[in-house]
Structure 1
Amino acid sequence: MDLKFLGRGAAFNVYERNTSAYFIENQTLFLIDCGESVFSTLIEKNILNDIHDVYILISHTHSDHCGSLGSLGLYCKYVKKIKMKLIIPHDSAYIHSLKLLMELFGNEDTYKFVYEEELDHRFINFEKVRYDLTSHTKDLHCYSFVFESKEGAVFYSADTNVVDNVVHFIDTYDNIATIYMEGTDLDIPDDVHLNIDKLSSVIPQHLHSCVYLMHIRNHACVEDAIKNGFQIVKI
């Protein structure tokens, strides 16, 4: 599964742009998260030029993961003459939060919901994608994503402060292609992000080279990742 990245920065790392990944298949854009910088990056890189359909996964409603969803929705409606498709899990609270967000953006008629299983066997890049509930901040529904593909399973953490999801992923799949993880150099109690050394301690050594760090806070995160044998996503 070939993911390209529009940005790899944490919320306050404006130099690296908001963390967001995508692929294009048969003039369809498949996008993971849509933070404040994402729409402008899509325009700057001419990524939307030949696109006829847009599918989006939103991990949670922090603005660095959904902040330009309104602009993208309006662009799809008025320029591309399409409705973007927001992929959703069977989680009424999460769905309600997305509906409220789109209402606040004034975008009630720019999108449609598509349940995750409706994408099964629709793309060459992956066969299935599933939302995987994780822990990030209190009272906010946050998700990681698990993709099943012919090349192997792919894990995309989005924002998390626990290793439970990736450990379960590793225990579940024998054939693992890539693990995309957020990580921070900070090691403080009750942090909402995942310490890189803690992540390293639960990843089997033979999988370290399959781990790609994203949502980078600063260069110290890059150094910690490399020290632990991880890769860094490239923009």
Structure 2
Amino acid sequence: MDLNFLGCGSAFNPLYGNTSAYFTNKDQLYVIDGGESVFLKLYQKELLKKYAGITIMVTHMHADHVGSLPSIISYCYYVLGKKVTVIYPEKSLWILLGLMGIDPDIYIPVESSLFTAEGLKVWAVSVKHADDISCFGYIIEFAGEKIYYSGDSYEIPKDVLDGFYKREISTIYQDTTEFTSDHRSHCPLEELEECIPADLRRNVFCMHFTTDFTEKLKKKGFGYIQGNCR
């Protein structure tokens, strides 16, 4: 199962676009996160028009992950006549959307750690990113394959790593930063090297870049999302 990326940048690298990905199943569109640049990308690709059902999984409520979510919801409802399904395990997102003027009747909130649809299972996994906000990654099972999408996270949860080592999870998409710092919020490349054996690194795709260190990633055997996602 491959994800299509709309952007792979951090909040401080807008030229790469906010990190967001999507995949499809028949007439259903599934999007992970809706940062400031995501509505424009979806609009340009006409993905919101093309698919009958639209589901958005939200990893956390920083602006580069939810900044255009209200516009996506409003456009789909008032222009396209569609209700977007929004997945988030806590009620805080519905409060935020209400403060941003989004009527709860114009979208479908799914406040659960498990979401199922035809051929699809999605589990929310609590991850460590910021002390003052809840953050989640997602394990996605589709067409007999499981992948893990980290959201913003400075480490990979043990259960996810164990599943990856056993090849129960085929691919990891991991928020990665070039350097280690005292302020832990994104996974340092050095720590990713320590926990991912060399023979498995081709199945780990780094994303959410503030700087371009793709040459380092190539040398160390990791995959990565291209900085010119369109």
The reply to whether TM is greater than 0.5 is: yes
Answer whether contact 2:154 2:175 (CA < 8 A) is retained.
no
Return the match for 1:106 from 101, 115, 138: 101
Percent of residue pairs identical: 35
Residue 225, structure 1, aligned to residue 217, structure 2: yes
Residue 48, structure 1, aligned to residue 48, structure 2: yes
**What are the residue-to-residue correspondences of 1:192-203 with 2, within 5 Å?**
192-203=185-196
Structure 1 position 208, deviation (Å): 0.5
Structure 1 position 119, deviation (Å): 3.6
Q: Distance in 1 between matches of 2:144 and 2:170?
A: 6
For this pair of structures, how many residues does the alignment match? 224
Q: Distance in 2 between matches of 1:136 and 1:142?
A: 7
Answer whether contact 1:52 1:80 (CA < 8 A) is retained.
no
Answer whether contact 2:3 2:22 (CA < 8 A) is retained.
yes
Which residue type is aligned with residue 110 of structure 1? I
The runs of 5 or more residues in structure 2 that have no matched partner are none
Which residue type is aligned with residue 146 of structure 2? A
Inter-CA distance 209–139: structure 2 relative to 1 (3 Å threshold):
same
Q: Distance in 1 between matches of 2:171 and 2:58?
A: 20
Answer whether contact 1:184 1:196 (CA < 8 A) is retained.
yes
- Please list the CA deviations of residues 79-135 of structure 1 after superposition, one character each: whole Å capped at 9, or x if unmatched: 11121111133xxxx32x211211122112321112557742x244xx321000011
TM-score where L is the length of structure 2? 0.90
Greater shift after overlay, 25-34 or 67-76?
Answer: 25-34
The runs of 5 or more residues in structure 1 that have no matched partner are none
Return the match for 2:198 from 196, 205, 212: 205
Q: Distance in 2 between matches of 1:219 and 1:156?
A: 20
Answer whether contact 1:209 1:229 (CA < 8 A) is retained.
yes
Q: Distance in 2 between matches of 1:35 and 1:187?
A: 25
Inter-CA distance 150–45: structure 2 relative to 1 (3 Å threshold):
closer
Which residue type is aligned with residue 107 of structure 2? Y
Answer whether contact 2:115 2:123 (CA < 8 A) is retained.
no
**What are the residue-to-residue correspondences of 1:16-55 with 2, within 5 Å?**
16-55=16-55
Which residue type is aligned with residue 42 of structure 1? L
- Please list the CA deviations of residues 9-28 of structure 1 after superposition, one character each: whole Å capped at 9, or x if unmatched: 11111111000000122222
Q: Distance in 2 between matches of 1:105 and 1:224?
A: 41
Residue 171, structure 1, aligned to residue 167, structure 2: no
Greater shift after overlay, 23-32 or 69-78?
Answer: 23-32
CA RMSD of aligned residues (A): 1.7
